[in-house]
């Protein structure tokens, strides 16, 4: 039977009857299995009621003060362009300018993930968007961590976790630098641009990223915060990764993981820069990795097909995992009319390491469960593929503990995943034992 999702969870006697004959991947199964989200932005995942509460408290003007109104005007199911998609971030960032707000955002994001079965979460954000006269980078990171830790501690005190029946919840923080910024992005960037007003733009971007890289390492090594990786986000075209080489060299030499937004709105050469100039361990999106037609005509690449083949082989061979965000990619790419046109299936067929993520839960109006369901229903992912995608999320995570601790945790997760498989689909070895 073809694998598919079902909108109606199967329960009770119906579940027992279905086990022996039905291989349907249900929403109930997708929600129950342990999952990861390795690519989710804090600001882009703020609850809309929280946005409204904070806007009223801090005097931030919104286009609407109802959830339905904001869904209609700002956080839509489909966007006209990447600029339209990014429009809502001006409101989200504006309300996250205090330690209290950042702590609340971190806590609620962790709880929302826990409630749908996410057991490992890596939250990324750009501290420089929240720095101002009364709050530095360390304070920003500490505030978000307090919220995440509170949610984690509450979850891990549950009897199911304490008894070992369920794996615990873990998380990490990814610090994001910006490929491009202007004085209008935040108070910090306004001051930074003014202080470097006689410098070329490339140098301004380089210095800002390097300053943030030092803060990320300091936060981890001196303050014990679970900063697990350094990231580069923002507009790719015209803002090459090589401008931020020094920052990534710095974190690389301090044994910090690297992930880079690349191949989202630009071609394979952007991914090439990420893995060569910035030592990327993972790639955010990577949509155009295997697409020679996406290579810029002025790139100087003589044989696009050979270039893409070699790059794809390098990424696959080095197990550089792609953090795929299906809904977000469909929303921000005007040339993609449906998920059937997404490269995810092609990437899987090429055995590239992939995992599914949300990108922005609020802006994209999605969850990890929904992303998995879309892969099953729209892209034909079967149970074997699904398990590989989910498990690889845990294996390629930037786990904050030791390597041996990570291995034990992943083993515990796999055991729990297989227990849930048996619950929904029956014991595959039962017939052999009878």
Instruction: Give dist(CA 124, CA 145) in Å, integer.
Output: 11
Q: Dihedral (C-alpha) 46, 47, 49, 50: value to the nearest 10 degrees?
A: -40
- Please compute, for residue 94, the number of CA atoms within 13 A of its CA located in the half-sphere on the CB side: 17
**Which among 297, 202, 209 has a CA at the least distance from the CA of 251?**
209
Instruction: Give dist(CA 272, CA 308) in Å, integer.
Output: 10
Instruction: Give the DSSP H/E element, type plus range, for residue 123.
Output: strand 118-125
Instruction: Give dist(CA 320, CA 315) in Å, integer.
Output: 5
Query: Under a CB-based contact definition with an 8 Å cutoff, are residues 426 and 19 in contact?
Result: yes
* Alpha carbon separation from 114 to 170, 205, 226, 280 (Å, rounded): 10, 36, 18, 28
Q: Is 2 exposed, middle or buried (0-12, 13-18, 19+ CB in 10 A)?
A: exposed
Biggest CA-to-CA distance, the chain: 79
Neighbours of 191 (CB within 10 A): 14
Q: What is the DSSP string of 302-329?
A: S-HHHHHHHHHHHHHHTT-EEEE-HHHH
Query: Under a CB-based contact definition with an 8 Å cutoff, are residues 248 and 279 in contact?
Result: yes
Active site residue 27: no
- Whats the size of the chain, residue-wise? 434
CA angle 317, 321, 325 (to 5 degrees): 145
* Selected catalytic residue, list 27, 236, 264, 323: 264
Residues designated as active site:
264
């Amino acid at each position: 039977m073809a694998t598919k999702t079902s909108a109606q969870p199967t329960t009770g006697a119906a579940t027992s009857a279905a086990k022996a004959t039905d291989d349907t991947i249900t929403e109930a199964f997708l929600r129950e299995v342990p999952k990861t989200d390795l690519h989710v932005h804090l600001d882009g995942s703020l609850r809309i009621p929280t946005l409204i509460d904070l806007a009223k408290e801090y005097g931030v003007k919104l286009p609407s003060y109802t959830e339905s109104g904001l869904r209609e005007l700002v956080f839509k199911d489909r966007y006209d362009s990447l600029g339209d998609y990014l429009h809502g971030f001006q409101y989200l960032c504006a309300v996250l300018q205090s330690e209290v707000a950042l702590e609340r955002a971190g806590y609620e994001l962790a709880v929302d993930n826990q409630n749908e079965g996410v057991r490992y979460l890596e939250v990324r954000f750009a501290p420089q968007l929240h720095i101002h006269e009364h709050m530095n980078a360390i304070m920003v990171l500490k505030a978000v961590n307090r919220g995440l830790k509170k949610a984690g501690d509450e979850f891990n005190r549950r009897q199911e976790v304490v008894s070992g029946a369920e794996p615990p919840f873990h998380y990490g923080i990814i610090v994001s630098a910006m490929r491009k910024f202007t004085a209008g992005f935040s108070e910090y960037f306004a001051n930074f641009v003014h202080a470097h007003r006689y410098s070329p733009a490339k140098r301004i971007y380089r210095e800002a990223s390097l300053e943030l890289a030092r803060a990320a390492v300091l936060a981890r090594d001196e303050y014990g915060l679970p900063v697990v990786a350094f990231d580069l986000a923002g507009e790719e075209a015209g803002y090459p990764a090589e401008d931020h080489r020094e920052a990534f060299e710095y974190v690389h030499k301090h044994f910090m993981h690297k992930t880079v937004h690349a191949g989202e709105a630009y071609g394979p050469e952007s991914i090439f820069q990420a893995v060569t100039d910035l030592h990327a361990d993972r790639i955010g999106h990577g949509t155009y990795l295997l697409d020679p037609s996406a290579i810029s005509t002025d790139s100087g690449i003589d044989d696009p097909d050979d270039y893409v083949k070699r790059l794809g082989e390098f990424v696959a061979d080095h197990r550089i995992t792609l953090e795929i965000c299906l809904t977000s990619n469909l929303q921000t790419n005007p040339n993609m009319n449906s998920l059937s046109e997404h490269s995810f299936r092609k990437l899987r067929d090429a055995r590239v390491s992939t995992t599914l993520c949300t990108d922005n839960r609020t802006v994209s109006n999605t969850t990890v469960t929904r992303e998995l369901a879309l892969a099953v229903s729209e892209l034909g992912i079967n149970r074997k593929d699904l398990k590989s995608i989910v498990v690889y999320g845990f294996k390629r995570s930037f786990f904050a503990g030791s390597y041996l601790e990570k291995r034990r945790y992943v083993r515990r997760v796999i055991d729990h995943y297989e227990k849930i498989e048996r619950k929904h689909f029956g014991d595959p070895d039962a017939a052999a034992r009878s």
